[in-house]
């Protein structure tokens, strides 16, 4: 399969600075592809470099634009939308801290620092003062987080590597979807092909090769060989979760992301996969466009994540839609308090509309899920008391 990689029409034009950065990233990627075996770069490596190549990748070069109100922003996440999200998570985090006896929260991929900025004051309001650790792969975002969280300097520490031993609460909001995924396609003869990128003159183009035997065997265990069907598998995210079993001594991780259980993920009708790119609030599926300037994501196969946690020796503690989780963990009460304090004000109106986005089935409420995995947690977690869908994983 080969598809020209010109940017999809309809994307906003690049300003001079962005265009110059895009050229530098393209040159770097082109050199890497030229040096790759048979001139083929597996998509997973493309996604890794396009997002995380130091000083170049989307998350690593100051290009990440979070923000609901920013016309030039690329996408909005729940903690950016409203502090109510972090305030609600704080309630669940407090319960996990109490049940685990741990004194720390560890957030992966903290973005602009918005989640920490809403959780820490909410916990303080409950008389809970944990250490707050952040593990962030992007040096640029780490610097932004340090600036944003300057007022919480005494509580927050940035880690350079995974801890050897951890007890407490782990948070990862929209991190699994940002981990590089492997792209595959079944051919007409029922053989698995791995998709990647090659050079076609000065342009990037899609390419394919026979999938390595290991990949073919894993995919074949998860879905039937549907001719022409293309999708993703996130082996890195699975490895990350399996590895958590080695360092999480007692506590739970809340993994929040968009995705589905396996039967829906590899549904015959989802024949083009789930790859999604974001550029200045435009969502499209061309992962070869604007490398270094756009976000690239793949939805999460939550069955694979739960299985990886089990393989790592962890328990699966809950799985629910974001709407159900937030309702269970007390968002309605927080919203009522917020509306009561400032009834009729613009702030109360904004809070109400943000809560609607978090909860609505048509927005983030149903597509986003919360998976809790952990060890040594003996009581039900409050976020899953109703609507726990573990049975569907
Ligand atoms: C889509 S952003 C989400 C940011 C933030 N959690 C939010 O909800 O606004 C993905 C974040 O995950 C980070 N990230 C990706 N892979 C990671 C990993 N393996 N460990 C830690 N952070 C990671 C990125 O650098 C970025 O900060």
Q: Please list the residues that pair with 42 across neighbouring strands.
A: 196
Name which of 195, 386, 362, 392 is nearest 301 in CA terms: 392
What's the CA gap between 383 and 120, in Å, rounded? 19
Quick one: pLDDT at residue 15? Answer: 85
Quick one: pLDDT at residue 339? Answer: 73
Using the atom order of ligand 1, give the atom closest to the CA of residue 66: 9
Per DSSP, the residues of 281-327 read TEEE--TTSSTTTSEEE--EEHHHHHHHHHHTT-EEEEEEEHHHHHH
Q: Candidates 57, 111, 253, 294: which one to mutate for ligand 1, based on the most atoms within 8 Å of Cβ?
A: 111
Ligand 1 center–CA 110 separation, angstroms: 6
What's the CA gap between 373 and 186, in Å, rounded? 32
- pLDDT < 50 positions in the chain: 1-6
Minimal-distance CA residue to ligand 1 atom 1: 174
Using the atom order of ligand 1, give the atom closest to the CA of residue 138: 25
Ligand 1 center–CA 177 separation, angstroms: 9
E strand map for 122-266: 131-135, 156-159, 166-173, 182-186, 192-200, 203-210, 230-233, 248-260
Q: Please list the residues that pair with 258 across neighbouring strands.
A: 368
Q: Who lines ligand 1 at CB under 6 A?
A: 59, 66, 77, 79-80, 108-111, 114-115, 135-138, 141, 173-175, 178-179
Using the atom order of ligand 1, give the atom closest to the CA of residue 75: 1
Minimal-distance CA residue to ligand 1 atom 5: 111
Number of neighbouring beta carbons within 10 Å of residue 212 = 13
E strand map for 221-303: 230-233, 248-260, 276-279, 282-284, 295-297, 300-301
What's the CA gap between 383 and 95, in Å, rounded? 10
Minimal-distance CA residue to ligand 1 atom 7: 111
Residue pLDDT, tens place only, 222-272: 999 999 999 999 999 999 999 999 999 999 999 999 999 999 999 999 999
Q: Residue 60 has which token pair?
A: 């690593």
Ligand 1 center–CA 136 separation, angstroms: 7
Name 188's Cβ contacts closer than 8 Å, sequence gap at least 6: 227, 228
What's the CA gap between 253 and 4, in Å, rounded? 41
Quick one: pLDDT at residue 74? Answer: 66
Quick one: pLDDT at residue 340? Answer: 73
Ligand 1 center–CA 59 separation, angstroms: 8
Ligand 1 center–CA 331 separation, angstroms: 24
Q: Is 228 exposed, middle or buried (0-12, 13-18, 19+ CB in 10 A)?
A: exposed
Q: Residue 270 has which token pair?
A: 């989802």
> What is the three-class DSSP state of 226?
coil
What's the CA gap between 218 and 236, in Å, rounded? 14
Q: Do 48 and 296 meet the contact criterion of CB atoms below 8 Å apart?
A: no
Q: Report domain extents, the chain.
A: 1-6+16-321+368-375
Quick one: pLDDT at residue 65? Answer: 66
The domain 1-6+16-321+368-375 is placed in CATH, from the list 3.30.300.30, 3.40.50.10860, 3.40.50.12710, 3.30.56.10, at 3.40.50.12710
What's the CA gap between 52 and 62, in Å, rounded? 11
Task: Count how many Cα atoms sit within 13 Å of the Cα of residue 148 in the half-sphere of its side chain.
Answer: 17
Name 55's Cβ contacts closer than 8 Å, sequence gap at least 6: 61
What's the CA gap between 356 and 369, in Å, rounded? 16
Q: Candidates 57, 140, 174, 175: which one to mutate for ligand 1, based on the most atoms within 8 Å of Cβ?
A: 175
Name which of 329, 335, 331 is nearest 385 in CA terms: 329
Ligand 1 center–CA 64 separation, angstroms: 11
Using the atom order of ligand 1, give the atom closest to the CA of residue 295: 1
Q: Do 230 and 64 meet the contact criterion of CB atoms below 8 Å apart?
A: no
Name which of 39, 51, 53 is nearest 197 in CA terms: 39
What would you report as the CA-atom Rg of the chain, rounded to the nearest whole angstrom?
21
Minimal-distance CA residue to ligand 1 atom 22: 109
């Amino acid at each position: 399969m080969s598809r020209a990689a010109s940017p999809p029409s309809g994307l906003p034009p690049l300003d001079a600075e962005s265009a110059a950065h895009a050229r530098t990233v393209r040159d770097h990627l082109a050199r890497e592809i030229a040096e790759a075996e048979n001139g083929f770069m597996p998509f997973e490596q493309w996604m890794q470099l396009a997002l995380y190549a130091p000083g170049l990748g989307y998350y690593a070069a100051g290009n990440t634009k979070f923000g609901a109100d920013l016309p030039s922003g690329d996408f909005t996440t729940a903690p950016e939308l409203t502090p109510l999200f972090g305030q609600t998570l704080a309630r669940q985090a407090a319960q996990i801290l109490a049940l685990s006896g741990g004194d720390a929260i560890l957030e992966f991929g903290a973005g602009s620092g918005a989640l920490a900025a809403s959780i820490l004051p909410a916990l303080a309001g409950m008389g809970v003062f944990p250490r707050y650790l952040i593990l962030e792969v992007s040096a640029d975002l780490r610097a932004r987080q340090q600036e944003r969280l300057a007022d919480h300097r005494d509580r927050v520490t940035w880690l350079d590597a995974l801890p050897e031993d951890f007890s407490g609460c782990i948070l990862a909001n929209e991190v699994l979807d940002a981990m590089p995924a492997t792209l595959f396609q079944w051919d007409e003869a029922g053989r698995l092909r791995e998709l990647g990128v090659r050079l076609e003159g000065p342009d990037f183009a899609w390419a394919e090769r026979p999938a390595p035997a290991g990949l073919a065997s894993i995919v074949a265990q998860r879905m039937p060989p549907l001719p022409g069907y293309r999708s993703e598998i996130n082996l890195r995210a699975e490895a990350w979760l399996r590895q958590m079993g080695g360092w999480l001594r007692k506590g739970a991780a809340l993994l929040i992301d968009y995705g589905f259980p396996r039967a829906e993920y590899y549904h015959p009708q989802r024949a083009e996969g789930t790859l999604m790119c974001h550029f200045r609030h435009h969502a499209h599926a061309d992962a070869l466009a604007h490398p270094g300037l756009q976000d690239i994501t793949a939805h999460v196969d939550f069955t694979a994540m739960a299985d990886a946690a089990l393989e790592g020796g962890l328990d699966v503690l809950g799985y629910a839609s974001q709407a159900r989780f937030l309702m269970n963990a007390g968002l309605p009460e927080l919203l009522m308090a917020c509306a009561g304090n400032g009834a009729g004000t613009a702030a109360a109106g904004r809070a109400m509309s943000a809560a609607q986005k978090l909860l609505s089935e048509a927005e983030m409420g149903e597509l986003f899920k919360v998976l809790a995995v952990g060890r040594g947690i003996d009581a039900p977690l409050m976020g899953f008391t109703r609507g726990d869908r573990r049975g569907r994983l």
